[in-house]
Amino acid sequence: MNAWRQFLNSPVGPKTTHFWGPVANWGFVVAGLIDTQKPPDVISGNMTTAMCIYSGLFMRFAWMVQPRNYLLLGCHATNESVQLYQLSRWAAANGYLGEKSAGTDTGPPAPAAKG
């Protein structure tokens, strides 16, 4: 019971945003994991890159804030991994990592041949 009270009243306990912010951010991780089951042609390269930058910045924040927020750090480290995987799927599907996958054309149509 004493340990529970200590947790409740700690600087990173459930009475603070240091707890509820990271809990809410796990939604990004869950959404990213669900998106791994979708085809790569529905992945937005711009949004996935933005999510990678966002999680990278917040990992730094979670490490530097006092008291250190390990829950936020873990959440964003996991999200960074998921988003980098999604970005690699997008890059492979669009030919950035080799040959373009069939059926994932997301660019503008090629110009018609003159003749």
pLDDT digits (tens, 9 = 90+) for 81-102: 999 999 999 999 999 988 766 6
User: Which of 12 and 112 is assigned the larger pLDDT?
Assistant: 12
Read off the pTM.
0.75
Q: Is the pLDDT of residue 105 over 90?
A: no
Please report how the helices 45-64 and 17-35 are oriented relative to each other, as an axis angle in degrees rounded to 10.
150
User: Is the CB of residue 85 less than 8 Å from the CB of residue 35?
Assistant: no
% of the chain exceeding 70 in pLDDT: 86
